[in-house]
Amino acid sequence: MAKKGETVTQEQITTQEGVKLYRNTLNYNVISRYDPAIKQLLCHTSHCVIYKFNENNEEWVKSDYQGTLALYVRDFKVPPANAQPTYSDLQELFCYGLILMNRNNPECFSLGLLPNKITKHYFPHGVDDKGVLEMDVELNDNLIIVRNLLGEIYGLWVFNEEDRTKMYKSLDFCLNSESTAV
């Protein structure tokens, strides 16, 4: 592999690196059709199943969403000064996106992610005063558990253990990093 600052020639790219680059490009292009605000693909895994937690029954319910899961950076817009953003403004405020490109049907699962530092700044009482003050992510056995700003809880079952750990750590960084650079 070329060193930093050097030009990479075709001969220096291994077949494995070429396949990875091709896969990333395809994923980026497909995601951009669903979310034109995509800026950079952070990580992805080829097989994930989405579960939703039913709080009434206290059980996980398997959804009809399974396929490739990707985490990416979004081009976001900061609200005007002194303007209190609302739930409808969130679509433009989300800094990150999580999308599952569904193999079962054309409808994809997507979830906007907002770093908790930003959530606390713009929504000190939660979105629409629902009382959920931040998003949360945890790794529990084989599930990555994500709670969104509306209080909905999703379980992401990622087949590959290495991908699961990488996805969890990436989600945790996106939500909890003190860095202001996105």
Mean pLDDT on 51-57: 96
Q: What pTM was estimated for this model as a whole?
A: 0.83
* pLDDT, tens digit (0-9, with 9 covering 90-100), for 86-137: 777 788 889 999 999 999 999 999 999 999 998 888 887 777 666 778 899 9
What is the C-alpha separation between 39 and 16, in angstroms, rounded?
A: 24
pLDDT score for 148: 92
Over 50: is that where the pLDDT of 1 sits?
Answer: no
* pLDDT, tens digit (0-9, with 9 covering 90-100), for 154-175: 999 999 999 999 999 999 999 9
Mean pLDDT on 64-85: 88
Among 3.40.50.10540, 2.40.50.140, 2.70.70.10, 2.30.29.30, what is the CATH number of 13-176?
Answer: 2.30.29.30
